[in-house]
Chain A
Amino acid sequence: TQLLEQSPQFLSIQEGENLTVYCNSSSVFSSLQWYRQEPGEGPVLLVTVVTGGEVKKLKRLTFQFGDARKDSSLHITAAQPGDTGLYLCAGDLGSSNTGKLIFGQGTTLQVKP
């Protein structure tokens, strides 16, 4: 049973298009993180959201944490080939941000020039 469900699992789009990746769970998280992983490398943290309803922007990336802290989304505007990679959401099930993270299965994004 996957605690964190990401959708879609694969996404192939043209440069300049917009996209949204979803991360859903029935569990409540104290915080939720988004990572990006390139082939042959470890995941790199993009953002951490903590408060229900929180929205954070990182250049063309917009991250939202659900009001109930059970779900999150990542929206990319005007995708570029450099955005290609595996996007992972990770929820902290512990209290007070213990650092014990449960990862989703990931969304593989391919942006074609």
Chain B
Amino acid sequence: EAGVAQSPRYKIIEKRQSVAFWCNPISGHATLYWYQQILGQGPKLLIQFQNNGVVDDSQLPKDRFSAERLKGVDSTLKIQPAKLEDSAVYLCASSPQGFRKLFFGSGTQLSVL
């Protein structure tokens, strides 16, 4: 079974530029999550989708971050414009509906200079 796929693996940008991350969850998984993990900290939930609807985006900085999950499958997370404090690993995870186990991708490491 293929795991959660994320791209790119690494991204380096300058502040005020925009960036987008892509995630393809495990086939059939209804729930998709985006987490932000700053170095030395645990992952922080940014947004949770159930199929193509948003369940929780309370910690998403909506003035600069946006996410979508068209057709309830893959998802993109965008940052525009990026700030220095956005430097982090962005993790995508998926889980089957009604099941509490999260499967994580390898993440995208973002460096904002």
Contact = CB atoms under 8 A, between A and B. Distances in A.
Contacts of A31: 100
B66 interface: no
Interface stretch (B13-21, B71-79, B80-88, B101-109): B101-109
A113 interface: no
Given A42-B105, A99-B95, A100-B56, A33 B100 contact: yes
A100 B48 contact: yes
A82 interface: no
Given A97-B100, A100-B56, A101-B102, A42 B41 contact: no
A36 B82 CA distance: 29
Q: How many of chain B's residues touch chain A, expressed as a range?
A: 20 to 34
Contacts, number: 58
A111 B5 CA distance: 30
Nearest to B42: A103
Nearest to A6: B42
Contacts of A100: 45, 48, 55-56
Contacts of B95: 99
Nearest to A103: B42
B41 to A, nearest CB: 5
Interface in B25-57: 31, 33, 35, 40-45, 48, 55-56
A105 B41 contact: yes
A45 B103 CA distance: 8
B44 A99 contact: no
A103 B106 contact: no
> Which of A31, A101, A103 is most buried by chain B, counting CB atoms within 10 A of its CB?
A101
Interface of B: 4, 31, 33, 35, 40-45, 48, 55-56, 91, 93, 95, 98-107
Interface of A: 4, 6, 31, 33, 40-45, 48, 88, 90, 92, 97, 99-106
